[in-house]
């Protein structure tokens, strides 16, 4: 165990799985001291290998807070535990960086929001694609009407669950467990957040949430929905956990042309007019860059920065859309947001 140096932030990482390790490593590089809370002690030891040395290791957030003080708390546990653990931290007036989504359902997200409002302690929500440089570039192009008024958008995410964490059985991964908050709709709600980030809340949605593959999981592995906007825009989103090869892209179709974004290859294609006038912008950023930007912003929040790229309210808006999709899947009808 290490001694905390004066002037260095002491951060508690709650949940030491893949994302917890990533946040811990990035915050360590920025000069923070790291402690960890996780009921799986082997995971605590794995995180310690990543950061070099922990200040302390605990089995829970409660044990950690009863033992020492922290400048910040990062919540990287399964979705089921997000509201409860965030509420514990906020009531101690400790600013939180919480992985998405905000909760398993809208009701629990609103309960968390009620607490957050009473204590006025900041919570930065980790819908990390908001910090991805190429997507910020796309957002600027859309705002500048590079392709004119946008009429139709397609979001596509397909990635086989067994390939996500090759070091463990996918059946043991929280994504396979319904009660922990796994599944395509919840975990890949990144794409719902991006839809809201680009265009705001839709007026209504119609969709289906289902399991159609032979994956040995309790959760949904396929989501398809159509979002309708008051200006006539239509946004179609597909998410699945069984596709190979992995593929992610967003296609924006406007009056004057099309913008096509993908992270692999890492580029934006802009096509204008009927003559197939193509312009390609290539980028060399890597996935961890957006997590580094999140860590940098979180440290600014700890220092008093009020403006945040992704807030709890953004997470609640995601849950509003998500709940409507769930309802539509049951009723087989369009549901207003």
Question: Residues 8-27: pLDDT tens digits?
Answer: 899 999 999 899 999 999 99
Task: Encode burial over 233-259: b for 16+ CB neighbours within 10 A, e otherwise.
Answer: bebebbbbbbbeeeebebbbbbeebbb
Question: Residues 69-100: pLDDT tens digits?
Answer: 999 999 999 999 999 999 999 999 999 999 99
**Residue spans of beta strands (DSSP E) within the chain:** 10-14, 33-37, 57-58, 72-75, 96-99, 123-126, 150-158, 204-210, 222-228, 234-240, 247-254, 257-263, 266-272, 277-282, 335-336
Q: pLDDT band for 176, please (50, 70, 90 cuts).
A: confident
Task: Encode burial over 202-227: b for 16+ CB neighbours within 10 A, e otherwise.
Answer: bebbbbebebeeebebebbbbbbbbb
Which candidate, 220, 237, 244, places its Cα nearest to that of 162? Answer: 244
How big is the CA angle at 34 (ends 31 and 35), to the nearest 5 degrees? 165
- Write down the pLDDT at residue 274: 80
Token digits of residue 295: 């860590």
The region of weakest confidence among 84-93, 99-108, 165-174, 247-256 is 165-174
Token digits of residue 123: 């919570």
Sorted by sequence, the CB contacts under 8 Å of residue 204 that are 6+ apart come out as 227, 228, 324, 334, 335, 336, 337
| pTM for the model | 0.95
Longest dimension (CA), the chain: 67
Question: Residues 118-154: pLDDT tens digits?
Answer: 998 999 999 999 999 999 999 999 999 999 999 999 9
Q: pLDDT band for 4, please (50, 70, 90 cuts).
A: low
Question: Residues 181-229: pLDDT tens digits?
Answer: 899 999 999 999 999 999 999 999 999 999 999 999 999 999 999 999 9
Q: pLDDT > 90: what percent of the chain?
A: 88
- Write down the pLDDT at residue 277: 83
Residue 262 CB coordination number (10 Å): 16
Question: Residues 284-299: pLDDT tens digits?
Answer: 999 999 999 999 999 9
Locus of tokens 């809370």: 37
Locus of tokens 């906020």: 90
CA pair distance 201, 228, nearest whole angstrom:
9
Which whole number is the average pLDDT over 281-285?
Answer: 97
Sorted by sequence, the CB contacts under 8 Å of residue 295 that are 6+ apart come out as 23, 26, 27, 30
- Give, for 29, the enclosing helix (H) or strand (E): helix 18-29
Q: pLDDT band for 156, please (50, 70, 90 cuts).
A: very high
Which candidate, 75, 93, 70, 72, places its Cα nearest to that of 85? Answer: 75
- Write down the pLDDT at residue 296: 98
Q: pLDDT > 70: what percent of the chain?
A: 98
Residue 228 CB coordination number (10 Å): 17
């Amino acid at each position: 165990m290490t001694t905390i140096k004066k002037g260095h932030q002491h951060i508690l990482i709650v949940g030491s799985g893949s994302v917890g390790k990533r946040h811990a490593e990035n915050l360590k590089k920025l000069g923070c001291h790291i402690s960890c809370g996780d009921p799986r002690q082997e995971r605590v030891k794995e995180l310690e290998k990543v950061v070099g040395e922990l200040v302390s290791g605990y089995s829970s957030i409660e044990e950690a807070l009863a033992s020492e003080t922290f400048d910040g708390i990062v919540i990287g546990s399964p979705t089921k535990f997000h509201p409860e653990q965030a509420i514990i931290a906020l009531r101690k007036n400790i600013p939180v960086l919480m992985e998405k989504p905000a909760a398993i359902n809208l009701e629990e997200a609103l309960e968390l929001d009620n607490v957050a409002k009473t204590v006025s302690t900041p919570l930065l929500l980790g819908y990390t694609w908001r910090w991805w440089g190429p997507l910020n570039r796309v957002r600027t192009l859309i705002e500048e009407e590079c392709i004119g008024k946008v009429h139709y958008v397609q979001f596509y995410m397909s990635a086989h669950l067994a390939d996500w964490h090759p070091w463990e059985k996918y059946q043991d991964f929280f994504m396979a467990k319904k009660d922990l908050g796994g599944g395509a709709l919840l975990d890949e709600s990144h794409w719902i957040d991006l839809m809201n980030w680009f265009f705001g809340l839709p007026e209504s949605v119609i969709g289906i949430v289902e399991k159609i593959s032979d994956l040995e999981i309790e959760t949904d592995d396929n989501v398809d929905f159509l979002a309708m906007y008051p200006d006539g825009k239509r946004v179609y989103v597909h998410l699945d956990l069984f596709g190979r090869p992995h593929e992610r892209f967003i296609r924006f179709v406007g009056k004057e042309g099309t913008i096509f974004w993908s992270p692999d290859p890492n580029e934006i294609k802009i096509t204008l007019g009927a003559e197939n006038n193509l312009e390609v912008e290539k980028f060399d950023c890597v996935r961890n860059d957006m997590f580094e930007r999140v860590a940098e912003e979180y440290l600014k929040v700890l220092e008093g920065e009020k403006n945040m790229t992704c807030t709890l309210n953004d997470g609640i808006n995601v849950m509003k859309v998500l709940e409507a999709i769930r309802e539509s899947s049951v009723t087989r009808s369009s549901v207003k947001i």
